């Protein structure tokens, strides 16, 4: 990913400011925003929902893993679709296509997808090692769900760029992929809830410039002086 970012030609979009700041600083700032006070509503809501579901963790996971319908509906495609390598590859492909074909909007979406996957990956991996929870199938590092974090991060980026028309299919697909982790007996509901929350926050962090007011100054030389025009978006 880093090699493609360096090799690709410059892109004059709203994202250029972040590129000029440096990739490392951008990622660090994104990670800080995940645990900032602006993220408190999402984290508090997800935590309350997870605490409500906690007593039913094992029962819900067992029921889902034994469901013939869910196995038929989710087995195979949903588990593959949520793999981190596939999400990262799709993000990178979107970015490269946008750059090579001269489509700044497509490249901007791809760049935000890459950024969101990096932030979601670092966040979930850190928590997995900090909170040693065993998976339902006995494997280690259950909390939080990386599949849920990655898919909801991508869905949030799509929603921020395309609005409701992108949010509905993106979040629906993310929910189905996250639910497949119950059927696969790989996660508890609380793992998925918190993974989805951190994914949403990662997607928001990667697209922060789309949701904030920006002050732009445009200097210009005029007859007898200099004019500076300011606009707030």
pLDDT digits (tens, 9 = 90+) for 152-176: 999 999 999 998 899 999 999 999 8
d(CA 130, CA 217): 45
Going by C-alpha positions, the residue among 103, 189, 199, 109 that lies closest to residue 151 is 199
pTM (whole model) above 0.85: no
Count of CB atoms situated within 10 Å of the CB of 217 = 8
d(CA 12, CA 14): 7
d(CA 162, CA 80): 25
What pLDDT was estimated at residue 176?
A: 86
The pLDDT of residue 14 is above 60: no
d(CA 227, CA 223): 9
- Rounded (5°) CA angle 3-9-15: 90
Strand ranges, E, within 89-224: 215-222
What pLDDT was estimated at residue 62?
A: 87
Q: What SS3 state is found at 22?
A: coil
Asked whether 120 and 194 are in contact (CB, 8 A), the reply is no
Q: What is the CA radius of gyration of the chain?
A: 20
Count of CB atoms situated within 10 Å of the CB of 32 = 11
The pLDDT of residue 135 is above 80: yes
What 8-state DSSP symbol labels residue 76?
T
Cα-Cα-Cα-Cα dihedral sign, residues 158, 202, 122, 100: positive
Give kind and range of the element (H or E) at residue 231.
strand 225-232
Select from 1.10.600, 3.30.70, 1.20.144, 3.20.20 the CATH code of 2-8+36-232: 1.20.144
Going by C-alpha positions, the residue among 167, 162, 153 that lies closest to residue 119 is 153
What is the domain partition of the chain in residue ranges? 2-8+36-232
Q: Average model confidence (pLDDT) for the chain?
A: 80
What pLDDT was estimated at residue 177?
A: 87
The phi, psi pair for 66, rounded to 5°, reads -95, 0
What pLDDT was estimated at residue 20?
A: 44
């Amino acid at each position: 990913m880093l090699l493609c970012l360096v090799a690709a030609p410059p892109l004059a979009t709203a994202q250029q400011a972040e590129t000029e700041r440096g990739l490392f600083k951008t990622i660090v700032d994104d990670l800080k925003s995940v645990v900032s006070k602006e993220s408190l509503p999402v984290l508090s809501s997800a935590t309350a929902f997870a605490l409500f579901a906690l007593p039913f963790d094992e029962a819900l996971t067992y029921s889902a893993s034994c469901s013939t319908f869910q196995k038929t509906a989710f087995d195979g495609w949903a588990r593959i679709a949520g793999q981190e390598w596939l999400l990262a590859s799709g993000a990178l492909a979107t970015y490269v296509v946008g750059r090579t074909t001269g489509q700044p909007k497509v490249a901007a979406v791809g760049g935000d997808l890459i950024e969101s996957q990096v932030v979601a990956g670092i966040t979930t991996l850190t928590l997995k090692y900090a909170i040693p929870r065993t998976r339902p199938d006995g494997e280690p590092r259950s909390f939080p769900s990386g599949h849920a974090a990655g898919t909801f991060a991508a869905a949030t980026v799509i929603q921020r760029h395309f609005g409701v028309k992108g949010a509905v299919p993106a979040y629906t697909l993310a929910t189905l992929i996250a639910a497949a982790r119950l059927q696969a007996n790989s996660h508890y509901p609380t793992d998925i809830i918190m993974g989805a929350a951190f994914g949403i926050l990662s997607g928001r962090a990667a697209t922060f410039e789309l949701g904030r007011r920006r002050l732009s100054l445009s200097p210009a030389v005029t007859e007898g002086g200099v004019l500076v025009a300011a606009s707030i978006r």
